[in-house]
């Protein structure tokens, strides 16, 4: 298996002004194609440091991927450091120069010398075309070790990887151990419970060379399984055995089997398949639930609308929550959540509806209703019920978790999985 190290260059990454999302994306891209990632590092904009890190990585790895420092400004020193490391000068790539000139012409700007320098690449290297920007990627080889330099701008880096660089990788690395990576996305089950109580012992599969990892995120956990083999037939055999095992153990909580499909994508598709419409009545989530649903392409076919009823007056005057209910039980209560969801169904006529009310924090809690207490009301084809999760003291996290629980509870209700799970929230019927 070929080895790879990922180096990200930029002071902005070190001090936290910019989050290094490139390394995780590159790691996933290469891992899915059979490369083994040996390490990842963030380096400051310093030519000596860059040369040292690249030199050491190329000695130890088959492929080194570097992002950042290819722009036209004074702090972009990667290309110059590499030219010095290889002991070469520069040569102008005419195709890149033409592309850069066309970009500036379209924008109505004069092409400066700094911009022209974007087309200069270390002598003996290969320019990797960058349709999305002016800085090309650069491909170099030395003694059987390869180096790829890519822009730090994520959408430019990804385009080069998926187009120019992927073709170069296929040419330079003629054999990579075949592998298939699958993602099993679950929601509504804590990582420890999922691993210990539901999935159980995976040693049989690990001994075969399968790599399995748990990837937690707010409200959900993804299992990533990479199956290796000598050929595709062997991989398929191992993968089918693993999938049969996972289907039996956790099939009810697997909502997607791809890395990029989100819970809201699945729910919107379920609503479309059933011909259902949905509406929302939100207090503590402040419109985040509606925003999440309407971020899905095609959601206009199922989402009728929603009400952000933050103040009690709006809960009363728009959603029809009774003043005596608010006075007796408080805004954060099962009774109010159920009246909110019934009210939005009356307003919109939707088949399905969700309401949220809670103490988002960081203040406002009480011994009876601590920060993180949430009530979520549901109406599904006339059936009313509510759930009462208790989350953290972090306001934004509480809003995110509330949306996740709302979406997953609806998914289970619509798929009939609500009665087949060992771990789920207690329901209060309306």
Read off the DSSP letter of residue 35. P
pLDDT band at 160 (very low <50, low <70, confident <90, very high): very high
pLDDT band at 207 (very low <50, low <70, confident <90, very high): confident
Q: Is 312 left (phi over 0), alpha (psi -120 to 50) or beta?
A: alpha
Asked if residues 366 and 331 have their Cβ atoms less than 8 Å apart, the reply is no
Task: Supply the pLDDT for residue 110.
Answer: 78
**Per-residue pLDDT for 196 more than 60?**
yes
Mean pLDDT of the chain: 91
CATH for 179-256 (3.30.379, 1.10.3470, 3.30.70, 3.30.470): 3.30.70
Whole-model pTM: value is 0.73
Order across the sheet with 63-67: list the strands. 36-43, 3-9, 63-67, 145-150, 137-142, 126-128
Dist CA 282 CA 383 (whole Å) = 19
Q: Which two tokens stand for residue 20?
A: 């290094």
Domain ranges of the chain: 3-172, 179-256, 276-429
pLDDT band at 422 (very low <50, low <70, confident <90, very high): low
Task: Supply the pLDDT for residue 96.
Answer: 87
pLDDT band at 28 (very low <50, low <70, confident <90, very high): confident
Identify which of 360, 324, 341, 227 has the alpha carbon closest to the alpha carbon of residue 282: 341
223-227, 335-339, 391-395, range with greatest mean pLDDT: 335-339
**pLDDT, tens only, 45-98:** 999 999 999 999 999 999 999 999 887 777 789 999 999 999 999 999 898 888
**pLDDT, tens only, 325-382:** 999 999 999 999 999 999 999 999 999 999 999 999 999 989 999 999 999 999 999 9
Task: Supply the pLDDT for residue 38.
Answer: 95
Task: Supply the pLDDT for residue 426.
Answer: 86
Dist CA 219 CA 223 (whole Å) = 14
Angle among Cα 392, 396, 400 to the nearest 5 degrees reads 85
What CATH class does 3-172 carry? Answer: alpha beta
**Per-residue pLDDT for 245 more than 90?**
yes
Task: Supply the pLDDT for residue 397.
Answer: 95
The angle, 0 to 180 degrees and rounded to 10, between the axes of the packed helices 263-274 and 395-415 is 30
Identify which of 75, 73, 153 has the alpha carbon closest to the alpha carbon of residue 113: 73
Q: Quick one: CATH architecture of 276-429? A: Alpha-Beta Complex (3.90)
Task: Supply the pLDDT for residue 175.
Answer: 55
Give the contacts of 332 (CB within 8 A, at least 6 positions apart): 284, 357, 358, 359, 369, 373, 374, 375
Asked if residues 129 and 136 have their Cβ atoms less than 8 Å apart, the reply is yes
**pLDDT, tens only, 295-307:** 999 999 999 999 9
């Amino acid at each position: 298996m070929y080895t790879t190290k990922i180096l990200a260059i930029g002071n902005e990454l070190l001090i936290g002004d910019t989050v290094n999302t490139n390394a995780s994306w590159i790691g996933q891209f290469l891992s899915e194609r059979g490369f083994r990632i040996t390490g990842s590092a963030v380096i400051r904009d310093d030519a000596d440091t860059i040369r040292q890190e690249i030199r050491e990585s190329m000695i130890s790895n088959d492929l080194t991927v570097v992002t950042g420092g290819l722009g036209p400004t004074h702090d972009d020193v990667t290309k110059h450091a590499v030219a010095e490391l290889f002991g070469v000068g520069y040569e102008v790539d005419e195709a890149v120069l033409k592309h850069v000139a066309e970009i500036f012409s379209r924008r109505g700007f004069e092409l400066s010398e700094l911009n022209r320098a974007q087309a200069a690449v270390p002598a003996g290297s290969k320019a990797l075309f960058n349709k999305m920007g002016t800085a090309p990627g650069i491909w170099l080889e030395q003694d059987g070790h390869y180096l790829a330099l890519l822009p730090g701008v994520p959408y430019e880096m990804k385009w080069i990887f998926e187009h120019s660089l992927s073709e170069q990788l296929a040419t330079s690395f003629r054999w990579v151990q075949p592998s298939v990576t699958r993602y099993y996305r679950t929601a509504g089950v804590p990582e420890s419970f999922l691993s210990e109580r539901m999935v159980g012992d995976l040693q049989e599969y690990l001994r075969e060379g399968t790599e399995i990892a748990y990837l937690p995120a707010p409200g959900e956990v993804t299992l990533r399984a990479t199956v290796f083999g000598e050929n595709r037939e062997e991989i398929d055999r191992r993968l089918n055995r693993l999938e049969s095992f996972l289907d039996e153990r956790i099939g009810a909580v697997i909502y997607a089997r791809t890395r990029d499909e989100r819970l809201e994508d699945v729910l919107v598709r379920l609503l479309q398949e059933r011909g259902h419409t949905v509406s929302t009545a939100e207090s503590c989530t402040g419109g985040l639930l509606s925003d999440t649903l309407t971020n899905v392409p095609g959601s206009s076919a199922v989402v009728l609308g929603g009400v952000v009823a933050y103040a009690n007056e709006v809960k009363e005057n728009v959603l029809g929550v009774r003043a005596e209910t608010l006075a007796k039980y408080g805004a954060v209560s099962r009774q109010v959540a159920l009246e909110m969801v019934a009210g939005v169904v009356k307003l919109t006529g939707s088949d399905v509806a969700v309401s949220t009310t809670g103490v988002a924090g960081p203040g406002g809690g009480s011994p009876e209703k601590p920060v993180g207490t949430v009530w979520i009301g549901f109406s599904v084809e006339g059936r009313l019920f509510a759930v009462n999760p208790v989350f953290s003291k972090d306001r934004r996290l509480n809003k995110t978790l509330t949306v996740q629980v709302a979406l997953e509870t609806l998914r289970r209700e619509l798929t009939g999985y609500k009665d087949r799970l060992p771990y789920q929230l207690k329901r209060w019927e309306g």
